[in-house]
Amino acid sequence: MFVETEEFAKELETMGDPERENAYAAVGRWFAEHGSKITHHAHLAPVHTATTMRLRRGEEPVVTDGPFVEGKEVVSGFAEVEVADLDEALKIARSWPACPIVEIRPVS
């Protein structure tokens, strides 16, 4: 998962158009470079578009506007990669050119 910080979001906002286009192009190159290992990917809509449902046994679900956690970091997208092991996943993640946090999780 690619995690944006407030600082990164502000940097992106203050970039001029050419600099922002270069940043997006770097992301495009990253996906192209690792395309043979990527099985699925998506960019998530901004956090203000989130709807959260909290489930409690025996009670009606509580639906609220907004993300599931209150925090300054937001998952902005994800890519599923098929790799042999964590070391290979870390190698790919190390080259991610955008937001400053990459969370790696296995799928089951």
Q: What is the pLDDT of residue 5?
A: 85
Domain boundaries of the chain, sorted by first residue? 2-102
CATH architecture of 2-102: 2-Layer Sandwich (3.30)
- Write the burial class of residue 5 (CB in 10 Å: 0-12 exposed, 13-18 middle, 19+ buried): middle
Backbone angles phi, psi at 8, to 5 degrees: -65, -45
Buried b (16+ CB within 10 A) or exposed e, 40-77: eeeeeeeeeeeeeeeeeeeeeeeeeeebeeeeebbbbb
d(CA 27, CA 33): 10
Q: How confident is the prediction along the chain (108 residues), in pLDDT tens digits per residue? A: 898 888 898 999 999 999 999 999 999 999 999 999 999 988 888 777 777 777 788 888 888 877 666 667 778 889 999 999 999 999 999 999 998 889 898 887
